[in-house]
Structure 1
Amino acid sequence: MGFYGVLECGSQVFDNHLIIALVERWRRETHTFHFTCGEATITLQDVSIIWGLTIDGEAVTETDVSHKVEQWQHICLDLLGFVSSSKHLKGGHLSMTALHDHYMANLVNDDTSEVDIVKFTFCIALIIIGRIMFPDYQGGSAKLIFLQLLPNIDNVKSYSWGSAVLVFLYRELCNSSRIEKTTMVEPLYILQVENWI
């Protein structure tokens, strides 16, 4: 699927002071950090090198999200192999708790069928996408719109995931740099690694 680089980075300890300092130096007008030595920014090449995500290919775009809870449950059953209760589905978001519980209860072994391995893979992909690449403010749910891009495993790598992550990062940096904003959800790993380099 092309997410191995994201998975290889693992969990990281973030330097909150560095992140806050960077956000304070972000300029929404130019999408750059303003330092005393000049301007700098994060590029597509940076995203590609750090996480190994593709930057060429089809755009990662939102599709129809007007589904009802029952429709999302049906999509989850088809692609993830379980039906989540309506308390774990809110506005096109699936609780990370439900994903994690299903993941832990259905670990792959020698007896696992190929169909179940594919569903397990979709579950892992949604966790990576929802927790690391495109996190929400609480870190507690994943957008199910991304499931609509996953049904054909061979095509997942054809999307420009790196471009989507960079757009998400820029948008969140612009939002976080506003005075009234108190939380950040951008892919902090890319932000931190880029500034170590």
Structure 2
Amino acid sequence: MALYGIIRCGFFKYDNHLITALVERWRRETHTFHLRVGEATITLQDVELVWNLNINGFAVTGVDESFKPHVWQSECVEWLGFMPHVNQFRGNKFVMSVLDQYCRSILINDNSTHVEVERYTRCVALMIIGGCMLSDSDGCSVNLMYLRLLRDTNQVSKYSWGSAVLEFLYRELCTASTIGKGEIAGPIFILQVWALSRITFLCPDPFGDIPDDDDHNDQILPFPPFGERWNRSFTWTHTTNHSVRVIRDLLDKMEPNQLIFLLHSL
């Protein structure tokens, strides 16, 4: 399905103060961050680099249909392999903790049938989509309209998921930068890695070695994405974090050499 890069990146704790400072400088008219040294923004190349997501291919589109719970139950039985309770649906959304519990309750091995493997894979893909790529503000549910795109598992990798992720992030930044809004959802991992990678005074020092890829067989699995290097420990001795006031002040005093504009400089 070409979503392996997201799994390799693992978990990364978000700095809400940094995200807040960035949202304050987002301009809806241009979809860019208004910085002292100029305009900068997250691009398709950034999304492809950080998560190794496809940025070409079919558009991720669909109709946000609202069915009764028993219709969604039938969809889940056919494509996911189990029937959730009606209370586990929130309109056309589905509680992701149920997916997690289901995946932990079954065992996929060499004796599993092709249908069982495909259904399990769709469950994992839904959790990736709802938890990382296109997450809602509650972060606990996933829209079942994405299930329609996962029916043919051989076609999933041909969708331009990177374009969908970038558009979703732009929309969330525009919404969060509106007066009276106090939350943001979506691919925050992309936003934070972009900031820490390109704004030099925000980048922490690595604590420990960069993940070793010597034992990684790229003939079987894709090469790790850029975002994986953030899946380790860091020290913030020479940089600031968890302080909106300090980050605002640093952005106000930013010098041209403190922003990496070119992708090949990462």
User: Which range, TM-score by smaller chain?
Assistant: over 0.9
Indicate the residue corresponding to 1:85 in structure 2. 85
Is the contact between residue 173 and residue 186 of structure 1 (CA under 8 Å) also seen in structure 2? no
Is the contact between residue 63 and residue 148 of structure 1 (CA under 8 Å) also seen in structure 2? no
How much has 1:82 moved relative to structure 2?
0.5
- The one-letter amino acid of 1:192's match is Q
Within-5 A mapping of 1:170-181? 170-181=170-181
Is the contact between residue 127 and residue 142 of structure 1 (CA under 8 Å) also seen in structure 2? yes
Greater fraction of residues in helix: 1
- Percent identical among aligned pairs is 49
How much has 1:64 moved relative to structure 2?
5.4
Q: Provide Cα deviations, 1:131-187, integer angstroms capped at 9, x if missing partner.
A: 000111111101100000011111001111000000100000000011200111121
Distance 1:74 1:176, change over 3 A: same
Indicate the residue corresponding to 1:35 in structure 2. 35
What do you get for the CA RMSD once the two structures are aligned? 1.1
Aligned residues: 197
Q: Provide Cα deviations, 1:66-110, integer angstroms capped at 9, x if missing partner.
A: 322111111111111011111111211010121111111113233
Indicate the residue corresponding to 2:222 in structure 1. none
Alpha-carbon distance between aligned partners in 2 of 1:180 and 1:90, rounded to the nearest angstrom: 25
Indicate the residue corresponding to 2:76 in structure 1. 76
Does 2:138 match 1:138?
yes
Does 2:68 match 1:58?
no
How much has 1:37 moved relative to structure 2?
0.9
Structure 1, unaligned runs of 5 or more: none
Indicate the residue corresponding to 1:96 in structure 2. 96
1:94 is paired with a residue whose SS is strand
Q: What is the TM-score when the length of structure 2 is the normalising length?
A: 0.72
Misfit runs of 4+, over 3 Å: none
Q: Provide Cα deviations, 1:10-51, integer angstroms capped at 9, x if missing partner.
A: 111112211111001000011000111111000011111111
Q: What is the TM-score when the length of structure 1 is the normalising length?
A: 0.97
Is the contact between residue 80 and residue 122 of structure 1 (CA under 8 Å) also seen in structure 2? yes
1:157 is paired with a residue whose SS is helix
Indicate the residue corresponding to 1:20 in structure 2. 20
Larger Rg: 2
Is the contact between residue 94 and residue 142 of structure 1 (CA under 8 Å) also seen in structure 2? yes
- The one-letter amino acid of 1:97's match is S
Indicate the residue corresponding to 1:147 in structure 2. 147
- The one-letter amino acid of 1:138's match is D
Indicate the residue corresponding to 1:160 in structure 2. 160
1:6 is paired with a residue whose SS is helix
1:18 is paired with a residue whose SS is helix
1:82 is paired with a residue whose SS is coil
- The one-letter amino acid of 2:145's match is I
Alpha-carbon distance between aligned partners in 2 of 1:67 and 1:131, rounded to the nearest angstrom: 22
Alpha-carbon distance between aligned partners in 2 of 1:70 and 1:64, rounded to the nearest angstrom: 17
Does 2:189 match 1:189?
yes
Alpha-carbon distance between aligned partners in 2 of 1:61 and 1:172, rounded to the nearest angstrom: 18
Indicate the residue corresponding to 2:126 in structure 1. 126
Structure 2, unaligned runs of 5 or more: 198-266
